[in-house]
């Protein structure tokens, strides 16, 4: 079975709702889905899934990312790069 990880950062609950809608749609296509808030997931979990999605809110006139989403992105990127370099 295909596995998906949907990670979200939500301030008002809207992005969490979108993540849940996406998860429901994936489940309709027989995909096993895990939904996690970005502060509660380890970046290495991306490597355990076939599909990975990050959903977040933005704020300000420039559409800035929230700090927790930026932190997760940077840690994920570093972790995945290190893991892949070890596989080579």
**Model confidence pLDDT, tens digit, residues 29-68:** 999 999 999 889 877 787 889 998 988 888 888 887 777 7
The torsion region of residue 20 among left (phi > 0), alpha (psi -120 to 50) and beta comes to alpha
Query: Does residue 13 have a pLDDT over 90?
Result: yes
Confidence of residue 5 (pLDDT cuts 50, 70, 90): very high
The H or E element that residue 18 is part of is helix 14-28
Tell me how many degrees the CA angle 7-8-14 measures, rounded to the nearest 5. Answer: 145
Which pLDDT does position 70 carry in this prediction?
A: 74
Interval 17-28 mean pLDDT: 97
């Amino acid at each position: 079975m295909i596995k998906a990880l949907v990670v979200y950062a939500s301030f008002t609950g809207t992005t969490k709702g979108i993540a849940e809608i996406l998860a429901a749609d994936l489940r309709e296509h027989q995909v096993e889905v895990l939904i996690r808030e970005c502060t509660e997931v380890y970046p290495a979990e991306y490597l355990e899934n076939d599909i990975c999605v990050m959903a977040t809110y933005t704020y300000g006139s420039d559409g800035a990312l929230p700090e927790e989403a930026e932190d997760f992105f940077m840690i994920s990127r570093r972790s995945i790069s290190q893991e892949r370099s070890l596989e080579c």
